[in-house]
Amino acid sequence: MSNEPTGLLERHIEKMGIAYPIAKVKGETADRTYGVKGFPSGALLDAKGRVVWTGHPGSVSHEQIAALLEDTAFVSSIPGSEHKKINKLITAQDFGKAQKAILKGLGKSPDDEALIQARDDIQGLLQRKLKSAEALAVAGDFGGSIEIYGELQTLFKGSDSAKQAKAEQKTLEKNPAAKADLGAWKMMQKGNAAQRAGDFEKAAKVYRKVIKKYGDTPCAGRAQEFLSRHSRL
């Protein structure tokens, strides 16, 4: 991220052989929002877009990144050039279609180890996500659980896994014990959107309402954490 002129950035990108996304920002707004006091400065975001670390970008720990990657929907592409169509689906995180294509491929060549690996990776991702959704619900974090079921419905769109996730979500929504936290979770979405838009005051306003209405829920706990971090608001 830099606020320098486009021409300068383009020359720099070419000279350094940069291959990762670069954002040309206007003025100092992003620097101020992220509390940047010198360059370079970094912030690490998890799959939800939550800031989990800030500091010198060269000092971020590989272990921390590896731990965060565990929680993403990352599946490795199939090596070689034979499975372009499946790789495209994997990269697009369209795992419902990818699964179907892999099974079709395995129907023709059941011993294709690369396909078996890809099938198992996707299955592993599904199982991992279902397990965390279940664990969260058991811990009373129903909002967190429903978020994962929603994510699975997107990742496995059009497949039985998506149907299963939807069914699990419906069961959760009918669970009387989940009512308060899900109410809080729904309310919190507005605050989350405000945070993502950089409007922390509006977020604080929403979170205060969440706490007032749904005091004793995990969601309210998260709302309180935000207010403690931003005590000025």
Partner 1 sequence: MKLISLSLALAATLQPAPVAEIVQVGDLAPEIEGEWFLSEANTLGALRGRVVLLDFWRTW
Of 145 and 192, nearer to partner 1 (C-beta) is: 192
**Taking the complex as a whole, how short is the minimal distance between the CB of residue 203 and partner 1, in angstroms?**
8
Of 55 and 103, nearer to partner 1 (C-beta) is: 55
Of 30 and 114, nearer to partner 1 (C-beta) is: 30
Spell 62-81 as b/e; 16+ CB within 10 A means b: eeeeeebeeeebebeebeee
**Taking the complex as a whole, how short is the minimal distance between the CB of residue 186 and partner 1, in angstroms?**
16
Q: Which of 168, 178, 186 is nearest to 139 (CA)?
A: 178
Q: Residue 2, SS3? A: strand
Positions that interact with partner 1 (CB under 8 A): 1-2, 4, 6, 8-10, 12-13, 18-26, 29-36, 39-54, 57, 60, 65, 68-69, 72-74, 93, 151, 192, 195-198, 200-201, 225-226, 229-230, 232-233
DSSP sequence for 116-168 = HHHHHHHHHHHHHHHHHHHHHHHTT-HHHHHHHHHHHHHHTTTSHHHHHHHHH
**Taking the complex as a whole, how short is the minimal distance between the CB of residue 164 and partner 1, in angstroms?**
20
Of 39 and 170, nearer to partner 1 (C-beta) is: 39
**Taking the complex as a whole, how short is the minimal distance between the CB of residue 61 and partner 1, in angstroms?**
12
**Taking the complex as a whole, how short is the minimal distance between the CB of residue 25 and partner 1, in angstroms?**
4
CA dihedral sign of residues 11, 13, 14, 15? positive
Of 39 and 120, nearer to partner 1 (C-beta) is: 39
**Taking the complex as a whole, how short is the minimal distance between the CB of residue 40 and partner 1, in angstroms?**
4
Of 45 and 177, nearer to partner 1 (C-beta) is: 45
What size, in residues, is the chain?
Answer: 233
Distance CA 213, CA 203 (A): 15
Distance CA 199, CA 202 (A): 6
